[in-house]
Amino acid sequence: MAARFYADPRGRSCADCTPELRALRNCDGKSNPRFREVWGDTIADRCPLAVITPLSRALLRHYLRYRDHGLLPRVGGTGEQSARLMEGMDLLRVMFKA
């Protein structure tokens, strides 16, 4: 779900979110236990942007740059990238096709 939300955040940005919206969207996981948001077949109990880890955010950014522009984070081809990056990008490719 984080991957889909990152690619299409429906106009949301943590930088633009007010304290009131953070509480309403249960960003801290405690403010509004009744919050629910549906993304496809997944139901979130807090704003998906609040649960995307920095590592996941970086991987998603690298994947989208590669998918949209053919750019990799390191010089060279796919063989020169880290195994962790390439495995994550393979997983995201499958997720985005679903």
- Span 29-70, pLDDT tens digits: 899 999 998 877 778 898 888 888 888 888 988 998 999 999
pTM: 0.65
Question: How far apart are alpha carbons 32 and 45 in whole angstroms?
Answer: 9
Domain boundaries, the chain: 1-51, 53-98
